[in-house]
Structure 1
Amino acid sequence: MTFNDLTKNFTQVALNKKQKVQMMMVMALGLIALPAMAATTGAEFQQMAEMVIGWIEGWLGVMLAITCFSIGIAVGVTKQTLMPAIVGIGFALACVMGPSIIQAMFTAII
């Protein structure tokens, strides 16, 4: 018996369609349950998360957004396109709205 015969037998496990669907459903339910548990526990990181959120929603976020927009305008002028400026606006919106959206996702009641 060769190595190829062993791997061939191992990888050809016969599962019917119903068993495959059931296995995928169990795996999906397990993956859904993990983030829900992680959002309610782990107070060790709460201070760090609040600090980073404060930075992004505060003057650091404003400075980064203005910098990205300014660089986008400069690149847009040199390339004669508006896309870099639009990316800067998108970054500014992500700084303003991103933390609240992420917090809402983790604290949602399922």
Structure 2
Amino acid sequence: MKNKLPIPQTAQSADKSKLTALLLVGSIFALMAPDVFAATGADDFQAIYERLLGWTQGSLGKALSLTFLIIGLIVGLVRGSLIGSVICVGAALALVTMPSILNSIFTATI
């Protein structure tokens, strides 16, 4: 026979008050956020972006993609399943194609 102990009313009200306080503090922070972070013309991180883009689309990205494929094939042969190579091919494709997809998303105009 299971004991069905009711949760005390004070515990339920304490949880509700904590949630309400958390939502209130979160809304205050959201309303006080400065609009300066929403700027579109800032070039603060442009050098880092270009370096990472060059790495992923250059020889480093190709080398990492081939490494993913080789490791996936080895793991697939050891386990007797090629699912590891499929996952690694997906990772390699993501590494090569995601920068252009993300660039298209962030530079799209509505």
Query: TM-score band, normalised by the shorter chain?
Result: 0.5 to 0.7
Q: Give the structure 1 partner of residue 100 of structure 2.
A: 100
Give runs of aligned pairs for residues 29-108 of structure 1, distance below 5 A. 37=38, 40-108=40-108
- Distance (whole Å) between structure 2 residues aligned to residue 94 and residue 8 of structure 1: 42
What is the letter of the counterpart of residue 59 of structure 2? W
Structure 2: distance between partners of 1:47 and 1:89: 29
| CA–CA distance in structure 1, aligned partners of residues 52 and 58 of structure 2 | 10
TM-score in terms of structure 1 length = 0.64
Shift of 1:60: 0.5
Task: Name structure 2 gaps, 5 residues minimum.
Answer: 1-9, 21-30
Paired amino acid for 2:52:
V
**Following the alignment from structure 2 to structure 1, what is the Cα–Cα distance between the partners of residues 94 and 16?**
50
CA offset at residue 99 of structure 1?
0.1
The CA deviation string for residues 50-90 of structure 1, in whole angstroms up to 9 with x for no partner, is: 11000000010011111111000000001011111011111
Q: What is the RMSD computed on CA atoms of the aligned residues?
A: 2.8
Q: Structure 1 residues 8, 75: CA separation in 2 closer, same or farther (over 3 Å shift)?
A: closer
Distance of 1:62 and 1:99 partners within structure 2: 13
- Aligned residues, how many? 84
Higher helix share goes to which structure? 1
